[in-house]
Amino acid sequence: MDTKNYQFAWNDKAFELVSCSIVRMRIDIISVMPDLLTSAFAHSIIKRAQEKGLLQIHLHALRDYAMNKYGQVDDTQFGGGAGMVLMCEPLARVIEKLKQERNYDAIIYLTPDGQTLKQPTVNRLSLQENLLMICGHYKGIDQRIRDVYVTLEISIGDYVLSGGELAAAVLTDSIGRLIPGVLNDETSALTDSHQDGLLAPPVYTRPADWKGYKVPDILLSGHFAKIEEWRYEEALRRTEERRPDLLKG
């Protein structure tokens, strides 16, 4: 497929390929500990996306915008309580600087109390050009930054991490792999789990017989219509068994 002429589009019901030009994306990430992210973006698919010029990832160390020479970016909570909070001023400085350089389609805060990340959100974000992510740390960020700047709050699950860096890596990876030209076969992303509301069916490769465990005959038949029917039925069965909540409604 010629990736110069196609990209994904989200139509509120499905993710599909349409004819248009390639979207190149830039993701800026603000972090107290940006070194946590360097390895995550230096390998595999995300590395290829950057090498192809399809994705730019820029890490911004919050301490570069600190309140004083000691690198202060956090303080205690008003009202008391355990845990430090990232302050308004350092975050506002870096956000304002970046906003002067470009318009962001979304300013995302990674937080346990955000909306749970799901594939439709990833699909929509993958069609944007400029995203800004804010990684929380300690007890989080001052609520006023969320009120003034943040347009989307995302959680990657119902648990708490030490900071938002790993969540930002997850979100970036899930978005980056959908950018046209990143995957060798763009249609591969259309058959991933959750793209159609179902889990993906089982997959097999050579050998056809491994220690007596055989590949289903239908996959060796060459009858592609029946193979697709089998895959759909297996996806439905697996979803019913493992994630029946996805089938509600």
CATH number, domain containing residue 85: 3.40.1280.10
Residue 168 belongs to a domain: yes
Residue 132 belongs to a domain: yes
Peptide bond into 207 cis (omega under 30): yes
In the DSSP assignment, the letter for residue 64 is G
Q: Kindly tell me if the per-residue pLDDT of 184 is higher than 70.
A: no
Domain around 74: 23-186
Position 194 scores a pLDDT of 67
Give the residue with greater pLDDT, 20 vs 195: 195
Number of domains in the chain: 2
Residue 14 belongs to a domain: no
Asked whether residue 237 falls in the same domain as residue 153, the answer is no
Q: Kindly tell me if the per-residue pLDDT of 109 is higher than 70.
A: yes
Position 4 scores a pLDDT of 39
The rounded distance, in Å, linking the Cα atoms of 190 and 198 is 12
For 218-231, what is each residue's pLDDT tens digit?
999 999 999 999 99
What does pTM read for this prediction?
0.86
Asked whether residue 86 falls in the same domain as residue 152, the answer is yes
